[in-house]
Amino acid sequence: MSNKWMRLAAVLCLTTLMSTPALALKSQYKLSMVVGPNTAWGMGAQRFADLVKERTDGRINIKVYYSGALFAGHQTNEFTLLRQGVADFSLASTINWSPQVKELNLFSLPFFFSQPGSLDAVVHGKTGEQIFARLEQLGVQPLAWGENGYRQLTNSQRAIVKPDDLHDLKIRVVGSKLFIDTFQALGANPTAMPYSEALTALQQGVVDGQENPVAGVIVPYKLWQYGQNQLTVWNYVVDPLIYAVNGREWRAFPDDIKQAIRRSAEDAAQYQKALARVGLDDGAALAWLKEHDEVPDVTDPYAVLEENGVTITRLSDDQLAAFKAKVAPVVDQWTDTIGAKLVDTARTDQQQAR
């Protein structure tokens, strides 16, 4: 090849590499979900899909794949599948992405978000910005923050009032090893498994307990029917949800579609968070839903639990202190993994919001 042709070929190559080609729109996009449609989480995903369809005049059709259908139940593979484009969209808990994105373990640090409003302060503060930038770097475009909720402990054996009560209880957990470390430090016997297997394990008594949000998971899945008749309110972890889209696909969307998708995620997230918080906050969530003519099925999740024979144990500050002391070394160790700077930023975000 002559020099001239080689130069031309090189220029052509470079132009192709530099411009993001406009991909043809797909007839259907897939959104991955861990849980089912009758949860705040599932309803928040469906609302997003509906809004996107409406606001793009039907050009973007998103089908929600509930109950882990897209990743065959293996929820800790979700981030990888979204990155690869096996899923186009996702409404995901930070817990399930934490094995691949170590920064997301921040949200699973035990007793780090115990003050009301501290999660909002972090996700809408500098920390949230930095985490979104990190996800973008890794090939996933985040769109908005949702919320699964404060995770409470249930079991089939006894009331948990002090760490000793957890001794040898088999507790199902998911996510990164941080959860195993936390429950081992508390003296329990934790075992990691996806949610799709957890229900059977609870039913068969393979495990004694689990931890999940009351409105987000425990009530919609009627966990009392799986022997879970003890619940301890300890607010030890709160997991946010993230509306997100595969980065390559995002960059290829025209601007008007990008804008419609982003606004739909923000609006759906507000609705989703209100559903996740009904009956658990100071009344703001229910007021928001009423204002928007939305009628939630459950307005008092603790009352539903009690009606179904679940004993609720609320820990005092002194009782909580005993649990916090046990997990303090785990928090220190995982602060290094997450990045001490990010953990510090999250502390500052919380303090500034007070």
Strands (E), the chain: 29-32, 62-65, 89-93, 140-155, 170-173, 189-192, 209-213, 230-246, 311-314
Residue closest to ligand X2X, measured at CB: 195
Comparing CB distances to ligand X2X, the nearer of 56 and 77 is: 77
Other CB atoms closer than 10 Å to residue 342's CB: what's the count?
19
Shortest reach from residue 75's CB to ligand X2X, in Å? 5
Cα within 13 Å of Cα(258), Cβ side: 13
**Could you give the CA distance from residue 83 to residue 81 in angstroms, rounded to a whole number?**
5
Shortest reach from residue 93's CB to ligand X2X, in Å? 4
Shortest reach from residue 54's CB to ligand X2X, in Å? 28
Comparing CB distances to ligand X2X, the nearer of 165 and 239 is: 239
Residues of the chain by 3-state class (helix, strand, coil), percent to 5: 50, 20, 30
Comparing CB distances to ligand X2X, the nearer of 195 and 334 is: 195
Comparing CB distances to ligand X2X, the nearer of 103 and 239 is: 239
The closest of 232, 217, 224 to 309, measured between CA atoms, is 224
Sign of the Cα torsion 31, 151, 231, 219 reads negative
Comparing CB distances to ligand X2X, the nearer of 161 and 192 is: 192
Shortest reach from residue 95's CB to ligand X2X, in Å? 4
Shortest reach from residue 8's CB to ligand X2X, in Å? 52
Residues that bind ligand X2X in the complex, under the rule CB under 6 A: 34-35, 75, 93, 95-96, 148, 174, 195, 212, 217, 239
Altogether, the residues listed in the chain come to a count of: 354
